[in-house]
Structure 1
Amino acid sequence: MRLTNLADYAVVVMAAAAREPSAKLSAARVAELTMIPPPTVAKLMGTLARGGLLTASRGAAGGFTLSREPAAISVAEIVEAVDGPIALTSCVSGDVQDCAMEGHCAIRGHWPPINQAVRGALAAVSLADLVQPAAAAASGPAVATATALAD
């Protein structure tokens, strides 16, 4: 299982915005801060704004700002704004037409709780967590959630 590059970049873009929460950031500035190509950043910032995670303002003093406090925005929300709902398998997403085993799968009923656990782990990590140094984040809520899931 792997996030798409765009979802990964979206998390990086949002973390850059969280590090400067009072600034109105342009796509060019975020590209400079993150080293992600400017066209990709511009596309992502538009997508994140449409997803309600960034607020766009136009004009000479315009730019993008976080729509909420960093602690109120989760990694799950960012991923879903870019990639859509988190679904590990086609039966979790409701797209069973893609599954050759649909009529006789004994595992199908087990995927929803697994999917919820993965989404829950991503939802437990906020932008505020991501902008902390990695050592401080290692003892935060995401680690506790991941540890509880492993038990």
Structure 2
Amino acid sequence: MRLTSFSDYALRLLIYAARHPDRLVTIEEAAAAYDISRSHLTKVANVLTRAGFLNSVRGRSGGLELGRDPVSLPLGEVLRVTEPDMAAAECFGPEEIRDPNRPGALDAAIRDALGAFLQVMDHRTLADLLADGQE
């Protein structure tokens, strides 16, 4: 399973916000903390805010805060939002665009593996990622 940098950045931004529950965090400081492009992180923040994972406060002293309790935020839910094409991979597409030479058993194996991956991620929460204590 290969995740995009978008999902990686999303999880990092959520971790950063969760580690600073007493204040609003800015995209600039999170970008600096993780050495990530500010423009990339802005796109990530917009998606996370629309999904309700983050709350955005506008204005001069605005910033971001978690929109949900880390204990009740499954990682699988975040990945389903940040990796919308994960389940739309070629082997899962409509029958008319599927490669007719690829065995159906291979498609089933990949589908099962993806399901197992998401099931594991559904049992892990943002709170689990906070346990290691690193910024």
Q: How does 1:24-39 map to 2 (within 5 A)?
A: 24-39=24-39
TM-score, normalization by structure 1: 0.74
Taking a change above 3 Å as real, the CA distance of residues 97 and 19 of structure 1, as seen in their structure-2 partners, is: farther
Deviation at 1:89, TM superposition (A): 4.3
Please report how far the alpha carbon of residue 71 of structure 1 lies from its aligned counterpart in structure 2 after TM superposition: 1.2
Contact kept? 1:88, 1:115, Cα under 8 Å: no
Question: Closer, same or farther in 2 for the Cα pair 1:18/1:71, shift >3 Å?
Answer: same
Distance 1:31 1:87, change over 3 A: same
Q: CA RMSD in A?
A: 2.4
| In 2: Cα distance, 1:27 partner to 1:124 partner | 28
Give the C-alpha shift of residue 110 in structure 1.
4.7
Structure with the larger helix share: 1
SS in 2 for 1:47: helix
What is the match of residue 115 of structure 1?
114
- 8 Å contact from structure 1 (residues 54, 67) kept in 2: yes
Q: Distance in 1 between matches of 2:83 and 2:94?
A: 15
% of aligned pairs identical?
26
Task: Kindly provide the amino acid, as one letter, of the partner of residue 29 in structure 1.
Answer: E
Q: Tell me the amino acid that sits aligned with residue 131 of structure 2.
A: Q
- Normalised to the residue count of structure 2, the TM-score between the two structures is 0.82
In structure 2, what is the Cα distance between the partners aligned to 1:29 and 1:110?
Answer: 42
Count of residues in Structure 1 that have an aligned counterpart in Structure 2: 133
Amino acid at match of 2:35: M
Q: Measured at CA, do residues 106 and 127 of structure 1 come closer, stay the same or move farther in structure 2, by a change above 3 Å?
A: closer
Equivalence for 1:45: 45
Letter in 2 for 1:131: L
2:88 equivalent to 1:65: no
* Residues 85-124 of structure 1 aligned to structure 2 (within 5 Å): 86-87=86-87, 89-92=89-92, 94-101=93-100, 105-124=104-123
- Secondary structure at the aligned position of 2:65 is classed as strand
SS in 2 for 1:68: coil
SS at match of 2:18: helix
**Which one scores higher on RCO, CA 8 angstroms, separation ≥ 6?**
2
Instruction: List runs of 5+ in structure 1 lacking aligned partners.
Output: 135-151
The answer (yes or no) to whether the contact 1:96–1:102 under 8 Å persists in 2 is no
Separation in 1 of the partners of 2:79 and 2:66? 16
